[in-house]
């Protein structure tokens, strides 16, 4: 992929310096820039979710323990489903699906959420980006990736000429999360919550029919590749990068979560490679 001076400057601004043409896609093709000043996520809330996907993270823990406010402790851990999922999700159109998500009470997250976070972008976009779960800002605004991590994601997409707000399906992206409701205290999604929410994402994929799915972070990767990659839960995310996986027949590229990249700017260049791989598949 040819990058012009403006695109290179935009990447440098994000702390990604491209030294040589990017076509080779090798590790050496992208060098780590001096990390640009990058806002660090606050302890709770300010940039919401911490994101997962560092190369050495154990599968079921975060690198930084997530504090839980005392008042939220009683409700913070996964609660049993209070009501079943609608039976006909697999037959729903976009609007019915969005309405079903807005009224969903299939797990305990419905009790603490302010808004459901269905997804954003063109409903015929060729790219689907899947994150983990809404954080505080997303819960307040009802839109995925609206904090600092989202800004980084938007900026990286911009270099590729893509945006969540584009009306042009060829340039737009659709962004959704594995979970549609915020886990209180930004804790990790619980397995039963992922299980309950899965039919919604599955239906979004079926309706969107994307040409490529970019799975960002450990929970997106585990949810999308659980049936196609044996032992996906125990593999470091880095081992799944650089290959093309499949979900329901759609090519899947694995990358780091943008919140992880804010904390680990030296891995931004690898994330840029992942986006280039996705772009090359188009
Ligand atoms: N992190 C995510 O995975 N999704 C969001 O929507 C926001 C932060």
pLDDT tens, residue by residue, 149-159: 999 999 999 99
- Is 3 within the bounds of a domain? no
- Whether residue 153 is found in the same domain as residue 265: yes
- Is 4 within the bounds of a domain? no
CA 24 – ligand 1 centroid, Å: 31
State if residue 135 touches ligand 1 by the CB under 6 angstroms criterion. yes
- Is 6 within the bounds of a domain? no
CA 132 – ligand 1 centroid, Å: 5
- Whether residue 130 is found in the same domain as residue 53: no
Q: Which of 11, 40, 63 is the last residue of a domain?
A: 63
- Whether residue 92 is found in the same domain as residue 211: yes
- Whether residue 94 is found in the same domain as residue 193: yes
- Is 8 within the bounds of a domain? no
- Is 1 within the bounds of a domain? no
- Whether residue 59 is found in the same domain as residue 84: no
- Whether residue 173 is found in the same domain as residue 188: yes
Q: How far apart are CA 1 and CA 13, in angstroms?
A: 19
State if residue 247 touches ligand 1 by the CB under 6 angstroms criterion. no
Find the radius of gyration of the CA atoms of the chain. 18
State if residue 48 touches ligand 1 by the CB under 6 angstroms criterion. yes
pLDDT of residue 60: 34
State if residue 106 touches ligand 1 by the CB under 6 angstroms criterion. no
pLDDT of residue 5: 86
> What CATH number did the domain enclosing 228 receive?
3.40.470.10
- Is 262 within the bounds of a domain? yes
Q: How many separate domains does the chain show? A: 2
- Whether residue 110 is found in the same domain as residue 248: yes
pLDDT of residue 19: 62
- Is 14 within the bounds of a domain? no
Q: How far apart are CA 170 and CA 243, in angstroms?
A: 23
- Whether residue 51 is found in the same domain as residue 179: no
Q: Which residues contact 149 (CB under 8 A, 6 or more apart)?
A: 41, 47, 48, 49, 51, 257, 258, 259, 261, 262
Q: What is the pTM of this model?
A: 0.81
Q: Which positions of the chain have pLDDT values less than 70? A: 19-48, 50, 52-83
- Is 130 within the bounds of a domain? yes
Q: Which domain holds residue 49?
A: 19-63
């Amino acid at each position: 992929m040819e990058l012009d001076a403006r695109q290179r400057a935009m990447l440098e601004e994000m702390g990604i310096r491209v030294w040589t043409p990017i076509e080779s896609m090798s590790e050496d093709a992208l060098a780590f820039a001096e990390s640009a000043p990058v806002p660090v996520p606050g302890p709770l809330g300010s940039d919401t979710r911490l994101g997962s996907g560092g190369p050495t993270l154990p599968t079921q823990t975060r690198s930084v323990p997530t504090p839980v406010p005392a008042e939220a402790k009683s409700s913070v851990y996964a609660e049993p489903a209070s009501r079943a999922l609608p039976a006909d999700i697999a037959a729903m159109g976009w609007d019915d699906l969005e309405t079903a998500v807005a009224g969903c009470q299939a797990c305990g997250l419905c009790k603490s959420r302010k808004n459901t976070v269905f997804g954003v972008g063109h409903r015929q976009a060729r790219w689907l980006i899947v994150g983990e779960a809404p954080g505080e800002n997303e819960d307040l605004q009802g839109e995925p990736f609206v904090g600092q991590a989202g800004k980084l994601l938007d900026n990286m997409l911009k270099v590729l000429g893509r945006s969540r707000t584009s009306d042009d399906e060829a340039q737009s992206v659709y962004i959704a999360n594995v979970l549609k409701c915020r886990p209180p205290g930004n804790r990790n999604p619980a397995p039963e919550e992922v299980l309950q929410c899965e039919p919604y994402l599955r239906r979004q994929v079926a309706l969107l029919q994307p040409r490529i799915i970019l799975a960002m972070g450990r929970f997106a990767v585990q949810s999308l590749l659980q049936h196609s990659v044996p032992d996906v839960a125990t593999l470091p995310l880095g081992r799944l990068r650089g290959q093309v996986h499949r979900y329901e027949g759609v090519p899947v590229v694995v990358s780091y979560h943008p919140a992880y990249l804010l904390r680990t700017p030296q891995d931004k260049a690898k994330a840029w490679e992942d986006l280039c791989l996705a772009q090359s598949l188009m």
